[in-house]
Amino acid sequence: MESQGRHLLIGNSNDDPAVAADYWRMFREHGVTEIVYATVYHHEVTDTLPGGNFRFVLVNCYSDKERLPTVLADEREGGRLQAAHLADLGHRNIAVLTFDSALMVTSLRLDGVRSELKSRGIELPKERVIEAISGSDSFQQDHAFESAVQLLRGEDRPTAIICANDQMAMQVFGAAAEVGLRIPRDLSVIGFDDFKMISAKLHPGLTTIDLPYFEMGREAVRRLLKGGSTGPSHSTTIPTRLVERQSCAPPRAA
């Protein structure tokens, strides 16, 4: 940024409105006019954006009320890649642990999973799609471990579980150990994010989908420096990709 004759101020509100209000006040006092507004997960943020002379580029979020420049990951393709990898290995009995069903990220990824499995003639019953994290922001309730244990103790347990993020996948690892299953011999697990403090440190290493935070941030800054856009191409989608490690294998029956 300094090479462009600009200075960068960074704030993390931790989803606390009071903290966010302090940052907006500080930014105004320092004459900030351009904002990269990034969120942890893909959701609508219109009601959290302040008024005034700020010019925004949104990252990992969107506004239904204003056509603001937006940079998003290809969540649908990420879900498709998860399903395709497991199907390529021979899995047909697959379960999915999702975020809250009201979130856009959930519907996008599930659409990718379902479309890929359907194209291969693989059924995904409703009871195999489980909302393992309900609510959002500071009101989340996490049911991933309990949900996975219940699935794995069932009579027709899945041979593979698709997880909405790597933290959820880590809990599935724990649930598998709880019921005496080994990964990937007895159960394949695939995550989302490639949060390397988890994905690269689990044993075995976690196969996951890379959520391209670096590329999204770089594109957002590029959009700001070019003046942004509110035209037909106001939204930019960054590709996701499969990061293959050792947590997935063909089902033992195969």
Q: Rounded distance, CA 165 to CA 13, Å?
A: 22
Close Cβ partners of 1 (under 8 Å, ≥ 6 residues apart): 7, 8, 221
DSSP 252: T
The model carries a pTM of 0.88
Q: Quick check: is 87 in a domain? A: yes
Sheet bearing 70-73, strands edge to edge = 34-44, 55-62, 70-73, 235-238
Q: Do 82 and 205 lie in a common domain?
A: yes
Q: 241 has which bridge partners?
A: 210
Higher pLDDT pick, 6 / 130: 130
Q: Do 194 and 230 lie in a common domain?
A: no
96-138 pLDDT, tens digit each: 999 999 889 999 999 999 999 999 999 999 999 999 987 655 5
Q: Quick check: is 251 in a domain? A: no
Q: Do 37 and 110 lie in a common domain?
A: no
Q: 238 has which bridge partners?
A: 73
Q: Quick check: is 172 in a domain? A: yes
Rounded average pLDDT over 208-212: 96
Q: Rounded distance, CA 74 to CA 69, Å?
A: 16
Cα–Cα distances in angstroms (integers) from residue 51 to residues 1, 38, 136, in the given order: 25, 17, 24
Q: Rounded distance, CA 122 to CA 159, Å?
A: 13
Assigned token pair, 61: 């979020």
Handedness of CA 48, 53, 56, 62 (dihedral sign): positive
Q: Quick check: is 246 in a domain? A: no
Q: How confident is the model at residue 12, as a pLDDT?
A: 87
Q: E strand or H helix at 203, and its extent?
A: none
DSSP 171: H
Percentage, residues of the chain above pLDDT 70: 92
Burial class (CB in 10 A: 0-12, 13-18, 19+), 136: middle
Q: Do 227 and 176 lie in a common domain?
A: no
Burial class (CB in 10 A: 0-12, 13-18, 19+), 105: buried
**CATH code at 112?**
3.40.50.2300
Q: Do 149 and 167 lie in a common domain?
A: yes
Higher pLDDT pick, 188 / 32: 188
Q: Quick check: is 25 in a domain? A: yes
Assigned token pair, 83: 């399903």
Domain that includes residue 221, residue range: 2-73+212-240
Q: Rounded distance, CA 129 to CA 95, Å?
A: 6
- Residue 120 phi, psi (nearest 5): -105, 5
pLDDT grade for 168, boundaries at 50, 70 and 90: very high
Q: Do 31 and 96 lie in a common domain?
A: no
Say if residues 183 and 245 touch (Cβ distance below 8 Å).
no
Q: Do 98 and 143 lie in a common domain?
A: yes
How many domains are contained in the chain? Answer: 2
Q: Do 62 and 82 lie in a common domain?
A: no
